[in-house]
Copies of this chain bind each other. A is one copy, B any other.
Amino acid sequence: MLDSYRTLILPDVQLMLLEGDRDGLAAFCGVVHPVVIAEICEELEDDQVWQVLDNAELSVKIEIFEHISLRRQEMLVESLELPKLTELLEHMSSDDRVDLMSRMSPDRCESVMRLLASSERNEIRKLLSYDESSAGSIMTTEYASLPANITVREAIDKLRQQAPNSETIYYVFILDDHRRLEGLISLRELILARPDIHLADIMERDVVRMRVTDEREAVARTLARYNFLAVPIVDADDRLVGIVTHDDAIDVVEEEATEDAYLQGAVQPLDDSYEDTPLLTILWKRGIWLVFLSVMALTNAKVLDYYSHSYDRFTTLVLMFLPLVMGSGGNAGSQSATLFIRMIALQGTSRSGRSLLAENRSVIAREFMVALSLGTALAVLDFVVARVFFDRSQSESIAIAFTVVTVVVLGTSFGALLPLLLSRLGMDPAIMSNPLIASILDVLAVTTFFQIAVLLL
* Interface positions of A (Cβ within 8 A of B): 1-4, 31, 33, 35, 156, 159-160, 163, 169-170, 187-188, 191-192, 206, 208, 210-211, 220, 222-227, 229, 246-247, 249-251, 253-254, 257-258, 260-262, 264-267, 273-275, 279, 282-283, 286-287, 289-291, 293-294, 296-298, 300-301, 304-305, 308, 311, 315-316, 318-324, 326-328, 330-332, 334-335, 337-343, 346, 348, 350-351, 362-363, 366, 369-370, 373-374, 377-378, 381-382, 385, 389-390, 408, 433-435, 438-439, 442, 446
CA separation between A272 and B76, bound complex, in Å?
45
Contact A282 B370 (CB under 8 A): yes
CB within 8 A of A439: which of B224, B274, B327?
A: B327
CA separation between A294 and B346, bound complex, in Å?
30
Known: A343-B275, A378-B290, A378-B291. A301 touches B327 (CB 8 A): no
Known: A251-B224, A253-B253, A350-B1. A323 touches B324 (CB 8 A): no
Contact A208 B308 (CB under 8 A): no
CA separation between A341 and B265, bound complex, in Å?
11
CA separation between A57 and B283, bound complex, in Å?
59
CB within 8 A of A338: which of B33, B267, B337?
A: B267
- Closest approach, in angstroms, between the C-beta of A313 and any C-beta of chain B? 12
Can you list 14 residue pairs at the A/B interface with Cβ under 8 Å?
A1-B210, A3-B348, A35-B226, A156-B191, A223-B250, A261-B338, A266-B331, A267-B335, A286-B370, A287-B377, A298-B324, A301-B321, A311-B316, A327-B442
Query: What B residues does A163 contact at CB under 8 A?
Result: 188, 191-192
Contact B323 A300 (CB under 8 A): yes
Q: How many copies does the complex hold?
A: 2
Contact B334 A435 (CB under 8 A): yes
Contact B370 A323 (CB under 8 A): no
Known: A287-B377, A331-B290. A363 touches B275 (CB 8 A): yes
- Closest approach, in angstroms, between the C-beta of A30 and any C-beta of chain B? 11
CA separation between A224 and B283, bound complex, in Å?
30
Q: Can you name the residue of chain B whose Cβ is closest to the Cβ of A256?
A: B257
Query: What B residues does A267 contact at CB under 8 A?
Result: 335, 338-339
CA separation between A351 and B250, bound complex, in Å?
21
Query: What B residues does A224 contact at CB under 8 A?
Result: 247, 250-251, 254
Known: A326-B323, A435-B331, A438-B435. A294 touches B343 (CB 8 A): no
Contact A265 B337 (CB under 8 A): yes
Contact A33 B334 (CB under 8 A): no
Contact B274 A342 (CB under 8 A): yes
CA separation between A339 and B170, bound complex, in Å?
38
- Closest approach, in angstroms, between the C-beta of A289 and any C-beta of chain B? 7
CB within 8 A of A264: which of B3, B227, B265, B319?
A: B265
CA separation between A286 and B31, bound complex, in Å?
51
CB within 8 A of A187: which of B187, B328, B433?
A: B187
Contact B330 A438 (CB under 8 A): yes
Nearest 6 CB-CB pairings of A with B:
A265-B338, A257-B257, A434-B434, A227-B247, A297-B324, A297-B327
- Closest approach, in angstroms, between the C-beta of A411 and any C-beta of chain B? 10
Having A286-B374, A319-B322, A326-B326, one finds 19 other A-B pairs with CB under 8 Å, namely A1-B210, A2-B208, A170-B170, A170-B229, A249-B250, A250-B250, A254-B346, A265-B434, A266-B335, A267-B335, A294-B378, A305-B320, A323-B442, A323-B446, A327-B438, A331-B435, A331-B439, A434-B438, A435-B438
